[in-house]
Amino acid sequence: MNNIIEITSLRKNYGEIKAVNDVSLSVNKGEMFGLVGPDGAGKTTMIRILCGLIIQESGVVKILDKDRSQSRKEIQKNIGYLSQKFSLYGDLSVDENIEFFAEIHNVKDYFKRRDELLDFSRLKPFRNRIAEKLSGGMKQKLALVCCLIHEPKILFLDEPTTGVDPVSRRDFWKILSKLLKDGITIFMSTPYLDEAERCNRVALMNAGEIIALDTPQKIKEKMNKQIIEIVCSPVRIAYQAIKRNTMLEVQMFGDRINVVVENYKLELPSIKKALTENKVQITDERIISPSLENVFMHLIKDAE
Amino acid sequence: MNLNRTRAIAKKEFKHLMRDVRLLAVLVFSPVFLLGVFGYAVNFDVHHIKIVVYDKEQSKISREFINGLTQSTYFDLIGYISDDSYIREVLDTKKAQCVVVIPVDLSQKFYSRQEAKIQYLIDGVDGNTANIIQFYVTAATYSFSSKLSSEVLARSGMRSFLPLNFEPLFWFNPDLKSTRFLIPGLIAMILIVTAAVSVSLSLVREKERGTIEQINVSSIKTSELLIGKTLPNVLLALLNATMILVVGYLLFDVVVKGSILLLFFCTLIFLIACTSIGILVSVISDSQRLAFSIATSLTMLPSFILSGFVFPIESMPVTVQILTNITPAKFFIRILRAIILRDVGVYAFWDQLVYLILFASALLTAAILIYNRKEKNN
């Protein structure tokens, strides 16, 4: 049993919208699998189907070699799910929240596990505090602890670090790497590409479809293009000028633009010409290797 | 069914109840407060009817008649008028609810053995009260009249004789106090509102906060969740029922004549029906605000108007009578009146218990169907 999750031709529609459109993929045991994509790509729908919260129109989901729709009970025992909105009871203390989630999973002897989890999430000093009095980062760690109390084999995380401060995010990732070491499989969705870089494998989802799936490294290599990064101002005018005057793909990032080219030596002069004609100030220009972000923007553009 | 998981949910629900002190205070004390307010305010007994007398004759007989009227607690003599034109004024300004006009020829007609007529002008705006006033004045006039006739007959050496007389006996509520009749209705109304509202709110709260997702991901069953969630609320409602009975006894002398055990058993069945309303509401609504308004409007008015609490169902039009089945309070009030006022056993109202169970099953089925349809479209 190498594929802990096996998805075949999964479909889910909301009226006219195809939220998940013929997706097939498999997740290896013990890996961290990232589902990346823009808002509305269908990431949450995917995770909710995998967790058994909604039912697909068609397709088969196998988790731990068992059919999702047939062995619900056994599967639920072995999965943990952290939804986008941290689901905690604000009026219960840290300990009581954990106790509740242990009990509804029918875990009786949870005290040792609870202490362990509190220890390594560094929540122990706050164990008697009411959950709503915790900081955002602590709340999120507590939510994670609550989904881990029944020792799941697979952990589903839906955008777990959205709206969390950078320090807590780093803490959170430390916990995740410890879980991976313990052999837990993690399936997470994220809008952040720096987080996606840290996954073993990444699937890019757009408009309900998977448009790329591989290790971050291989995805970047497959692009086989060069990127010219130009720091300039005003960025918007530069973006429009290049688009008008060349046929090249331009990506905008804050104070800089990236131009996707086959060969920079051939394209650079015409780009610079277009910029100077439009009175754009160029502060810096360099050739960079494509980042995941470049690749994804490129792929999404192709898909459209 | 796994008892551990059910207990876990109930334990947590209980903690929620105990932590929200303000809500708990409202849930515990508002029923007693409502009972006090309703018990004193909703009262159909008519006493101290304000009367004004226009005595045109001012004779011995007329004064005797007025004395007879005002001796009882039913009538309060406000004053006399001496002209027709004042009649309108005292009724218009609500100084009097009834004006008694004694004809100028009362004594003359009496002595010539003719029938004299006393006129009563009654404020008919409040039809109910007007009816009662009419009943009282008729009775008062009739008794005075028979007293006079017996005096006349006695003078000529004959014994007065009434061919038929009547002696009503009111069972179960001998002095016809309306609070005794109203308190069962109040219990039903208060319980249905608090139970439906608290159950629907506690379920919708999980949806609103998103915690329901975590519960759904666990291997918990819907039945375990529902029983665990409703149990603490049902216990609270039973506590409320007890408090209402105690306060009803202390303030309004309402004693439970029948079996307390039977009363609690029936209350439990009723609470299951109320809970099913709460569950249905929680399936329909996604926010606590919506759940609150649906739950109150589904329970408050029907249990007040359509349950037989205040207005007798038998005198409603047939279509409205059918409509009265939307509130389980209707069935419960019959049971309560049977136990509290009449001390009868379950044989007298088992059909009402069956209706309650049918009601609960119908609503729960509807809730399950709607829930499944919503799930499909999710």
User: In this predicted model, what pLDDT tens digit does every residue of A74-94 receive, in sequence order?
Assistant: 898 899 999 887 778 989 999
| Mean pLDDT within B155-172 | 74
**End-of-domain residue from the set A214, A240, A260:** A214
Is pLDDT of A1 > 70? no
Confidence of residue B131 (pLDDT cuts 50, 70, 90): confident
Burial of A152 (0-12, 13-18, 19+ CB in 10 A): buried
Residues A194 and A268 in one domain: no
**Number of domains observed in the structure of chain A:** 2
Is residue A180 domain-shared with residue A236, that is, in the same domain?
Answer: no
Q: Does B12 touch chain A (CB under 8 A)?
A: yes
Domain boundary among A172, A190, A214: A214
Task: Calculate the average pLDDT of chain A.
Answer: 88
Q: Which residues contact A203 (CB under 8 A, 6 or more apart)?
A: A25, A33, A34, A35, A36, A210, A212, A213
Task: Give the whole-angstrom CA distance, residue A191 versus residue A86.
Answer: 17
Contact: A54, B375; criterion CB under 8 Å: yes
What residues in A contact B378, CB-CB < 8 Å? 53-54
User: Residue range A132-155: average pLDDT?
Assistant: 90
- Inter-chain touch A91–B16, beta carbons under 8 Å: yes
Residue in chain A closest to B20 (alpha carbons) equals A91
User: Are residues A174 and A278 part of one domain?
Assistant: no
Which one of A214, A233, A252 terminates a domain? Answer: A214
- Please tell me whether residues A193 and A228 are part of one structural domain: no
pLDDT 10s digits, B2-36? 888 899 999 999 998 888 888 888 888 888 888 88
- Measured between beta carbons, the chain A residues lying within 8 angstroms of B212 are 87
- Which residues of B fall within a CB distance of 8 Å from A147? 214, 217
pLDDT of residue A155: 94
Averaged pLDDT, A146-174: 88
State yes or no: cis peptide before A234, omega within 30 of 0: yes
Using pLDDT thresholds of 50, 70 and 90, give the confidence band for residue B107.
confident
- pLDDT the model gives residue B175: 66
Element (DSSP H or E) covering residue B368? helix B350-376
Band of pLDDT at residue A142, cut at 50, 70 and 90: very high
Comparing C-alpha atoms, which of B195, B186, B321, B171 is closest to residue B247?
B186
A189: pLDDT strictly greater than 60: yes
Distance to chain B for A283, nearest Cα, Å: 48
In this prediction, residue B278 carries a pLDDT of 94
Residue B44 has pLDDT above 70, yes or no: no
A88 interfacial to chain B (CB closer than 8 Å) = yes
pLDDT tens digits, residue range A43-54? 999 999 999 888
pLDDT for residue A35: 93
- Burial class (CB within 10 angstroms; exposed 0-12, middle 13-18, buried 19+) of A297: buried
Q: Are strands A249-253 and B49-55 parallel, antiparallel or unpaired?
A: unpaired
Are A194 and A231 in a shared domain? no
B5: contact with A, CB 8 A cutoff: yes
Q: Which domains does chain B have, with CATH numbers?
A: 3-43+177-376 (no CATH), 49-155 (3.40.1710.10)
A contact test, residue of B214, B216, B229, B378 with most A CBs within 10 A:
B214
Residues of A in contact with B375 (CB under 8 A): 54-55
3-state secondary structure of A102: helix
Mean pLDDT for all residues in chain B = 86
Kindly list the residues from chain A whose CB atom is less than 8 angstroms away from the CB atom of residue B5.
Answer: 103-104, 106
DSSP state of B338: I
* Most confident range, picked from A158-167, A169-178, A268-277, B139-148: A169-178
Write the pLDDT tens digit of every residue in B357-369: 999 999 999 998 9
Shared-domain flag, residues A98 and A203: yes
Domain co-membership, A124 together with A80: yes
Rounded distance between C-alpha atoms, residue B53 and residue B100, angstroms: 5
**Count of alpha carbons within 13 angstroms of residue B94, beta-carbon side:** 2
User: Which CATH number goes with the domain that contains A243?
Assistant: 3.30.70.980
Q: How far apart are the first and last CA of chain A?
A: 37
| A166 shares a domain with A61 | yes
**A116 and A173 share one domain:** yes
Confidence of residue B378 (pLDDT cuts 50, 70, 90): low
Tell me which chain B residue has its CA closest to the CA of residue A88: B211
**A14, A140: one domain:** yes
Does residue A167 share a domain with residue A203? yes
Say what the pLDDT of residue B214 is: 86
Contact call for A55 and B15, based on CB within 8 A: no
Domain of residue A15 covers 3-214
A11 and A47 co-located in one domain: yes
**CATH number of the domain residue A36 falls in:** 3.40.50.300
Q: What is the pLDDT of residue B262?
A: 92
Give the residue-averaged pLDDT of B74-95.
86
